[in-house]
Structure 1
Amino acid sequence: MDKTRIIAIVFLFVSLGLAYFLGSRIYKSINDANRIETMEKRVIDKLSMIREAQIAYQSVNGKYTSDWGKLKAFVDSGQFYLVDKIEHIMTMDYGADSVYIEIDTLGTILVKDSIFSPKRYPNFKTEDLSKVPGSTKNAEFGMWADEIDKSGVKIDVVEVWDTDPVNPMRNEKNESRTKKPLRFGSRTNVTTAGNWE
């Protein structure tokens, strides 16, 4: 065999090895991106459920909670009042309107039956509400709730965040809110919006 043929065979094997290496790296990065997207979708779904529970808790109790035990107990046994409001408007002799409202309580409905119904969430388990989906550390979501002062008015705020993000690019040091771990709410603003929205 002459040198040219040997060099051609060596280059063939090197190029095949390089092609395999690059192909496997691309395939792995695509798989990782798909896995991260799937896991983040599960985390977003769970955060949306927690947000609904917090909003319901606040509407019944007048404030948010930072206690998982209280939130889970509320989801399991809390109730909403079903009310019927009738607004009556009467025009007075001098042209002004007089308004009075009749409020009739019709009954109650369980939070679990209204918000977390089996039809809407077929695999819902209250005890798993605080768990981060897919976490290898069996992590729970972080949850903070308190009152803040906004222009002299006390306002209830809540923030819930992923403590074990699957995406290594998401961390608390990022400047942009959309690059931080998945979360909803804020410690400084009156919002329950998620950073994925």
Structure 2
Amino acid sequence: MNTTKILSIVILVIALALGYYLFSSIKTDIDTTERIAKTEARVINKLKMIREAQVAFQKVNGKYSGNWDELLAFVDTGSFYITNKTEIIIPLDYGADSIYVEIDTIGTVLVKDSIFSPSKFPNFDLATLPLIPGTDGKRFDMWADKIDKAGVMVDVVEVRDIAPVDPARKESNEITNRKPLRFGSRTNITTSGNWE
């Protein structure tokens, strides 16, 4: 064999190895991105469930829950009142109206049956509600309290992912939607999520 054939074979082998390396690294990046997207979708779905539970808890109890045991017990055994509201408008002689509102309680419905119905959340499992998907049993960080806003004490809640699967999601990020996934705020009156 002459040196040209040997060099051609060596260059071909190097080109094939380099091609495989490039393909493998691009495929790994694509697989990682897909895995992060799927896991974050599961985390967002779980945060939506927790938000539904917190909003229901606040409607019934007048405050948000900062305790997982209290929130889980509410979802398991808590109930809403079903009411019927009737407004009667009575016209007055001088052109104004008087409104009489009558509210009747018809019955109750369980929180678990009304909010977490199989049609809305088909994979709802109360036991795993506080657990972050894709982790080894870590729980979402949940905080609830009252804050002063313009001289009025208001209820606020924040639930956040303490173990983000995306390494780019850090608390130090300036952009809110690049911070770890969460809903609510410790300083503002909101229950919106940073993925919205």
Provide TM-score, normalisation by structure 1. Answer: 0.97
Once the two structures are superposed, what CA deviation does each residue of 1:67-121 show, in whole Å capped at 9, x if it has no partner? 0000000000001000000011111001111111001000100000100123333
Aligned to 2:176: 177
SS at match of 1:19: helix
Aligned to 2:35: 35
Number of residue pairs aligned between Structure 1 and Structure 2: 196
C-alpha displacement of 1:126: 1.1
* Structure 2 CA distance for aligned equivalents of residues 59 and 120 of structure 1: 20
* Structure 2 CA distance for aligned equivalents of residues 15 and 90 of structure 1: 89
Aligned to 2:71: 71
* Structure 2 CA distance for aligned equivalents of residues 168 and 138 of structure 1: 19
Task: Tell me which amino acid in the other structure corresponds to 1:121.
Answer: F
> Identity over the aligned pairs, expressed in percent?
58
Structure 1 stretches of 5 or more lacking a match? none
Once the two structures are superposed, what CA deviation does each residue of 1:142-195 show, in whole Å capped at 9, x if it has no partner? 001111111001110000001111111111111111111110001111111100
RMSD of the TM alignment (CA)?
A: 0.9
Task: Tell me which amino acid in the other structure corresponds to 1:132.
Answer: I
Give structure 1 regions of 4+ aligned residues with deviation exceeding 3 angstroms: none
Aligned to 1:101: 101
* Structure 1 CA distance for aligned equivalents of residues 55 and 29 of structure 2: 38
Matches within 5 A, 1:82-161: 82-135=82-135, 137-161=136-160
* Structure 2 CA distance for aligned equivalents of residues 123 and 30 of structure 1: 27
Range with greater deviation from structure 2 (118-127 or 142-151): 118-127
Structure 2 stretches of 5 or more lacking a match? none
